[in-house]
Amino acid sequence: MAIFDEMHGLPGPDLPEAVRPAYRRVARWVAEAPPDLLDARRRQAELFFRRIGITFAVYGQADSTERLIPFDIIPRILSRSEWAELERGLVQRVEALNAFLADLYGPREILKAGVIPEDLIFQNPHFRLEMIGVQPPSGVYVHVAGIDLVRTGTDGFYVLEDNLRTPSGVSYMLENREMMMRLFPDMFMEHHVQPVEVYPDALRAVLRSVAPEGVNDPCVAVLTPGPYNSAYYEHSFLADKIGVELVEASDLFVRDEQVFMRTTQGAKRVDVVYRRTDDDFIDPLSFRPDSALGVPGLMSAYRAGSVTLANAVGTGVADDKAVYTYVPDIVRFYKGQEPILKNVPTFRCREPDDLAQVLDRLPELVVKEVNGSGGYGMLVGPKATLAEIEAFRARLVADPDGYIAQPTLALSTCPTLVEEGVAPRHVDLRPFVLTGAHGSEVIPGGLTRVALTAGSLVVNSSQGGGTKDTWVLDE
Amino acid sequence: MRIRVAHTTRYLYDAPVRWMLQALRMTPQPHEGQHLVAWRLETDADVRLRAEHDVFGNIVHMLQVERAPHELAVQVEGEVETFDTAGVVRGAVERLPPRLYLRETGLTAAAPEIRAFAQDATREAGPDLLSRLHLLMIAIRREVAFAPGVTDTKTTAAQALALRRGVCQDMAHLFIAAARSLGAPARYVSGHLVRTDTEAQQAAHAWAEAHIPDLGWVAFDPANGVCATEGHLRVAIGLDYAASAPVRGAVYGGGTERLSVSLRVADAAKVRSQAQAQSQA
């Protein structure tokens, strides 16, 4: 399987050291810099990150609750034309997914047209009945989306996963850029790198644009589940950058179907809640009754239209891994256009023919739980032991509806500084798409995640992946 | 039948309540088998009370209290005229397509044991869904003994089946899970039942409804092994108990909460004739 390298392209017999134009200067720098200088910069970066305290909690590991996500100093670079295509594809996809959600919680035309099996939606726990008939301000459901892309072989980019609930990682995008500018100011003189620093302003503008009707100067707050959440750092970071309050559920209360925040100056009305708490925990009166992270009555206020939740409740039905397989159809249905971004060809294990094929080819496939996330509970066939494969086979047979399977993708690599020097490591890309009352926009850049173990395809930070700064060139 | 309901929920706190919000699903809606003559929901404290509809079409009273004393009572009083429809529920508020009621919930997950139970119980009925559901209802009544105190509001259908004991709520959950596994959309009903064999009822009742093609929703009461009669007063519906519970709430402050519920459900005609008999005596 030919592996595409972000710096060198596909390996060619004649030009093993060919460099793609966007990487010209960086490649030269990597080649010419003395190894100990690179290592010194890497250690410097780590020290800065420790000082800032940017951490990430890894569930299921006993040794530490929080740790640093490794940062790699060699940037991942996209040319302007590559980005332009991605940007169009991302906007098209997110617009279609927003239209899909408005339809599902409204007239359900797509089900009537038979494009998606009704059961796949009706049986989906993330299809929140409480949202039926609710019209979020400006019709926006997904205000912040993180779309995971991978590049394979010569075929270009594929969407691996849509993250439409409470996607995280944008703080790394911003911190990584800040770090790079601090470590390598010269490189930013030599390149026209499009700014990602506009993100907080863009997010603030989006949140303000979707305030309930009649609210001119909305009060926005970031709702976090609290310090034990894996992304707490990001929640506080964003609240700080946007310049709004960071609140936990106990800071909010509902009176007369309106949401208020307790402040030292008394109760203050809240109009827009950028919530990073999952649906299940947002309101114990509507969802999990045992949730201490929720605000009792929040759904009542939301249904009454007095507060905007971003993202809306119930977006998870559109990024479900089983629904994912229908996204190209969703794009065609709502946009009347061919999808610009491709889906990874995916087996629907709920369909008997697909299941039979998957069971036949388990050692070469990646099998994912429909409702899993973050690389937990998946099978990477080529890397699994025989025993692991057999254990997974049993799970698949017992609950085929719960799984999808994909071919093992030859993810592109990007030169990365590791123990033994600079070596290719597999990467993905999560750009962030913001949608407000005035449409969707993509911040030029994103989070590049890198699998630090040689040959590994698992880039999730929960599984020990690292990150890189992602440059979109404006030249 | 004229059913009269008098229902008081009294909350006693050992410290003042700072804030309290409750969602009350205690107000019935009419359908062809029941007609509301009068219905009233009141409290004895300074509260905010607002009615809304939930996604199932139930009337939900959101009751909000700030700085309440140590005691609060919610009183429901009403009279409903009911008619025997052989369990068929027509003309009710329907906000969701029937197939949505095939959705499993935690309380009604169709464990393999439930699927097997449903198959075994209904084998003799052939393909007719209505007959199968009747047999299912009878089987639950036969196999699950009525036993208060063994289960609670978090007991799942599978747990109740394993115990072979439970209350009306458990039997309704088991019926719902099993009916869905047979392909019939099914839902939970919370309400009241006037029994003809005793003077008055002291507990709320629960049963289930299943959707049958060409017939619509039919109410099955597995705890009594009958389709709903004119003694059944339907108050709220949902995917399971959790979605249709009469009270769901959150309280800050208040310390320990003690709850006392008094409920009286009776055939209004009998109550009147008794009252007349007493005054004559």
Q: What is the pLDDT of residues A159-179, one digit of tens each?
A: 999 999 999 999 999 999 999
Q: Do B250 and A296 touch (CB under 8 A)?
A: yes
B84-244 shares the fold of B2-81+246-270? no
Tally C-beta pairs within 8 A across A and B. Answer: 54
Greater confidence (B213 vs A153) lies with B213
The pLDDT value recorded for residue B250 is 85
B233-252 residues touching A, CB cutoff 8 A = 239, 242, 248-250
Per-residue pLDDT band at A67 (split at 50, 70, 90):
low
Mean pLDDT score, A338-351: 95
Do residues B240 and B188 lie in contact, with contact meaning Cβ atoms separated by under 8 Å?
Answer: yes
pLDDT of B281 reads 36
Farthest-apart Cα atoms in chain B, separation: 60
> Is the preceding peptide bond at B224 cis, omega within 30 degrees of 0?
no
Is the Cβ–Cβ distance between B75 and B34 less than 8 Å?
A: no
Q: A102 burial class (0-12, 13-18, 19+ CB within 10 angstroms)? A: middle
Identify which of A143, A86, A97 has the alpha carbon closest to the alpha carbon of residue A448. Answer: A86
Model confidence over A236-273: pLDDT tens digits? 999 999 999 999 999 999 998 999 999 999 999 999 99
Residues of B in contact with A300 (CB under 8 A): 23, 52, 62
Contacts of A263 (CB under 8 A, 6+ apart): A245
Residues 21-50 of B with CB under 8 A from A: 21, 23, 48, 50
Q: For the ranges A188-202, A206-220, A225-239, A437-451, which has the lowest average pLDDT? A: A225-239
10 Å CB burial of residue B99 (0-12, 13-18, 19+) is: middle
Mutation for B interface: A116, A118, A122, most B CBs within 10 A: A122
Flag whether residue B93 sits within 8 Å of chain A, measured between CB atoms: no
Q: CA angle A433-A434-A439, nearest 5°?
A: 110
d(CA A326, CA A65): 37
Please give the CATH architecture assigned to the domain spanning B2-81+246-270. Sandwich (2.60)
DSSP code at position A411:
B
- Contact status of B112 with chain A (Cβ, < 8 Å): no
Spatial separation of the C-alpha atoms in residues A252 and A298, rounded to whole Å: 9
Alpha-carbon A215 to chain mean position: 30
Q: Which residues of chain B have pLDDT under 50?
A: 275-281
Inter-residue contact A149 to A160 (CB < 8 Å)? yes
Q: Where are the domains of chain B?
A: 2-81+246-270, 84-244
Domains and CATH numbers, chain A: 21-195+319-342+409-472 (no CATH), 213-306 (3.40.50.11290), 345-407 (3.30.1490.270)
CA A16, A20, A21, A23 dihedral sign is negative
Task: Identify the residue with better confidence: A335 or A321.
Answer: A335
Is the minimum CB–CB distance between B98 and chain A shorter than 8 Å? no
DSSP-assigned beta bridge partners for residue A437: none
Which one, of A148, A197, A192, lies nearest residue A171 by Cα?
Answer: A197
Is the pLDDT higher at A15 or at A50? A50
Lowest mean pLDDT among A109-118, A206-215, A408-417, B172-181: A408-417
Distance of alpha carbon A72 from alpha carbon A62, whole angstroms: 25
What is the distance between the alpha carbons of residues A404 and A355, in angstroms, rounded to a whole number?
Answer: 9
Q: DSSP code of A69? A: P
Q: Is A178 exposed, middle or buried (0-12, 13-18, 19+ CB in 10 A)?
A: middle
> Which pLDDT does position A47 carry in this prediction?
87
Residues linked to residue A238 through DSSP beta bridges, in sequence order: none
The CATH code of the domain at B84-244 is 3.10.620.30
State the average pLDDT over residues A136-140.
Answer: 95
Q: What is the pLDDT of residue B253?
A: 82
pLDDT band at residue A457 using 50, 70 and 90 as cut-offs: confident
Nearest of A409, A408, A426 to residue A468 by alpha carbon: A426
CA distance A245 to A268: 11
Task: Give the pTM.
Answer: 0.92
